[in-house]
Chains A and B, each alone.
Chain A
């Protein structure tokens, strides 16, 4: 199954890797770290806003605002963070696409954990106005927040493993 996905995606990866921008990122000493900086800044904003929402659903820390307020206040920057993550991630991927696609940790992250966490995040974000109206969140909301927090932790864990599988 994994090999089939790899074979199907390989021509696209080869095309991406041969583009002028991917070559520039790969061959320059400074471009790659700056693209990494873009990706990591986006991840910080994305995870910071996601986990803030989850921790408020879980009732961790002080509670001057309801979970619904926290969600509303952070919504725009949450998705700005996501756009930065995708832009930085796409550029990083393009630079060495053919080795990324062979990497099992990367495949687990991109094709399994990220879609799962993203769908769950949209679900939680959609339900938060209902769960988060009062200061105390119902059990379903707390459980949903905990699951999202763990899913994003798994995404980071898979990302940390990527260099260990580089052939």
Chain B
């Protein structure tokens, strides 16, 4: 069923154009990897800051205010380019269990990143002290899920040969 739905999507005119135009597909792939690395890298930096392991000279709110716009900008570009890559091979991706695991892990990583974001004090009230244990646990979970999403991504190629 999922495979059939995917195959229908793969045969849409513009999707067929993307999958058969080598330079376009390569460009989309490069954008996907590049923005994904920036997303994971900046998310990990914020997690390390909340855990007190990076960029500790300034209040966390200032660091977060600086880095979050880059994180979300890269994230949406990664989602868009990832969707374009996915749709060219949707028939194989949709029923694939490792792909499902990757998507679930990314969703969990995003949820924990949002929870970390909510736990960071606003610039006006941030006195520059250490964050609560709760925030640190959320940051540790976010870190684990982002690294887990990379693992799930590489496992897709290792197990199912996709990507």
Contact = CB atoms under 8 A, between A and B. Distances in A.
A61 interface: yes
Query: By DSSP majority rule, is chain A's interface helix, strand, loop, or mixed?
Result: helix
A47 B39 CA distance: 10
The size class of the interface chain A forms with chain B is 35 or more
A47 B37 contact: yes
B41 A46 contact: yes
Contacts of A45: 41, 44-45
Interface in B129-163: 146-147, 150-151, 153-155, 157-158
Nearest to A47: B37
Interface stretch (A2-10, A63-71, A122-130, A137-145): A63-71
A79 interface: no
A32 B158 contact: yes
B37 A43 contact: yes
Query: By DSSP majority rule, is chain B's interface helix, strand, loop, or mixed?
Result: helix
Contacts of B65: 62, 64
The size class of the interface chain B forms with chain A is 35 or more
A36 interface: yes
Interface stretch (B10-18, B66-74, B86-94, B99-107): B66-74
A76 interface: yes
A147 interface: no
23 contacts: A33-B154, A41-B40, A44-B37, A44-B40, A44-B41, A48-B45, A49-B41, A52-B41, A52-B42, A52-B66, A56-B66, A61-B70, A64-B65, A65-B66, A72-B57, A73-B58, A74-B45, A74-B55, A152-B34, A157-B30, A159-B33, A160-B30, A160-B33
